[in-house]
Amino acid sequence: MDELQEKGSPKSVILKELKNRLQKDLTYNSGKNLGSMCAYPHPFAKQIYAEFIEKNLGDPGLFPATAEFEKEVVQMIGSLLSHPEAVGHIVSGGTEANILAMWAARNQGNKERHEIVAPESVHLSIEKSADLLNLRLIKVKLDDSFRMNLEEAKRKISAKTCAIIGVAGTTGLGVVDPIAELSEVAVSNNIPLHVDAAFGGFVLTFLKELGFNVPDFDFQLQGVSSITVDPHKMGLAPIPAGGIVFRNPTTMKAVAKRVTYLAGGETDQTTLLGTRPGASCIAVWALLKHLGRDGYRSRVKRCMDLTIELADEIEKIEGIGLVARPTLNMAGIESREVKVEALAGELRKRGWAIALFPGYIRIVVMPHTRFGHIEDFVKDLKNTVKKLRGR
């Protein structure tokens, strides 16, 4: 048990202990982390973050310049998602972004509307939202390509539905739900469609520009009312930096609470948190300005090229296969011959940090992943499968 000491220790002693003990944490550049949707933050963003650490977006009157940067970040993200007039916030992550979207949708609808309709592949944060907001989460089965089954979704939508949720880059496999079709359903039923592009938001548009065949998912589609898009995933920003963008200010204002006593003057808070890290937001602003579309596009291309190489190698290994050809920079490994839990266990013993979902292993190819890391992984994967098949 640790306790707060009466007298402080010298910085050098503390630093030494921190460095020693933190060695236990896997680093991104070890190449062994193939299971995380986060990346080592871009060094420029890290520098900016440290420089403006004291900014608090919870009191925008006290930090008016920081608040302006937040507006501009949202506009830049909005422009990436085909709607520069978007409003929203840089928040703590995809979870908070999804909670905000559900909160706004619930408050905007009438009292009878207390159900949300989402695919089985939806992220846990939507379950948390339903729990917190007293909404009933109605899950829709997936089709053969692991996308939300459209016909079932239509059947489950009713006068009680306050939001439909589609995922653009599912947590497990990175697939994109039929957002264009869901948008039509949303428009004809006058229900907001929330798109969870926490991971896919910083990938899909660039893939499209690179000539990949990816479906539409953003504000181009009239029914899309809000989008979650996380700078701390493929946006390369320091944690915490999630993003929520709304098509209309009125949707966001549905959660507004007036705060009258702040040092910077009265404000309408439209976030879950009060005190919020302005440094995160300023770092995202700086990074978007620094990398530009071109910087992100080239990183996305590298990740996708590597993912395709990995996918091709997985397909060559006897005894295992891909759950689906990758849409994004993620791949799912399944097997009819060996237990994926055993396979994951063996790979983890060899130091690989990989995610294990029911029935498959998820690999995420992030900007810190190099060709050599994939080569090493494939080698271990081959040997492990061989060993397990031999039993």
267 binds ligand 0PR (CB under 6 A): no
Q: What is the per-residue binding string for ligand 0PR in 205-244, x denoting contact by CB under 6 A? A: -------------------------x-----------x--
Q: Which stretch binds ligand 0PR (CB under 6 A): 3-11, 36-44, 206-214, 373-381?
A: 36-44
Q: Check binding of 363 to ligand 0PR (CB under 6 A).
A: no
Number of chain positions touching ligand 0PR (CB under 6 A): 16
Phi/psi region, residue 124 (left: phi>0; alpha: psi -120 to 50; beta: rest), is alpha
* Whole-angstrom distance, CA of residue 42 vs CA of residue 38: 11
Q: Is residue 199 a contact point for ligand 0PR (CB under 6 A)?
A: yes
Scored b (16 or more CB within 10 A) or e, 50-86 reads eebeebbbbbbebbeebbebbeebbbbbbbbbbbeeb
Nearer to ligand 0PR (CB atom), residue 199 or residue 206: 199
**How many CB atoms lie under 10 A from the CB of residue 363?**
24
Note whether 368 binds ligand 0PR by CB under 6 A.
no
Starting at the edge strand found earlier in the chain, the sheet holding 224-228 runs 87-91, 242-246, 224-228, 193-196, 161-167, 115-119, 136-140
Closest CA to 363 of 316, 328, 337, 389: 328
How, if at all, do strands 267-269 and 257-259 pair?
A: antiparallel
* 3-state DSSP assignment of residue 199: coil
**Between 93 and 192, CB nearer to ligand 0PR:** 93
Helix or strand run (H / E) with residue 195: strand 193-196
Closer of 15 and 124 to ligand 0PR (Cβ)? 124
Closer residue to ligand 0PR in complex, CB, 63/199: 199
Q: Please identify, among the stretches 3-11, 34-42, 271-279, 285-293, the one whose residues bind ligand 0PR according to the rule CB under 6 A.
A: 34-42
Alpha carbons 196 and 126: distance in angstroms, whole number: 10
- Whether a cis peptide bond, with omega within 30° of 0, leads into 240 is yes
What lies within 8 Å, CB to CB, of 26 at 6+ separation is 32, 33, 353
Q: What mask of x and - would describe binding to ligand 0PR in positions 60 to 99, judged by CB under 6 A?
A: ---------------------------------xxx--x-
Would you state the structure tokens that stand for residue 244, as one six-digit string?
A: 């929520």
Residue among 167, 185, 344, 385 that touches ligand 0PR (CB under 6 A): 167
- State the minimum distance, in angstroms, from the CB of residue 299 to ligand 0PR: 17
What's the closest the beta carbon of residue 313 comes to ligand 0PR, in angstroms?
23
Q: Tell me which amino acid residue 212 is.
A: F
- The stretch near ligand 0PR (CB under 6 A) out of 31-39, 137-145, 284-292, 368-376 is 31-39
Strand partners, 378: none
Give the one residue of 125, 129, 149, 369 binding ligand 0PR; rule: CB under 6 A.
Answer: 125
Query: Is position 38 an interface residue for ligand 0PR (rule: CB under 6 A)?
Result: yes
Q: Can you give the binding site for ligand 0PR, defined by CB under 6 A?
A: 36-38, 93-95, 98, 123, 125, 167, 171, 196, 198-199, 230, 242
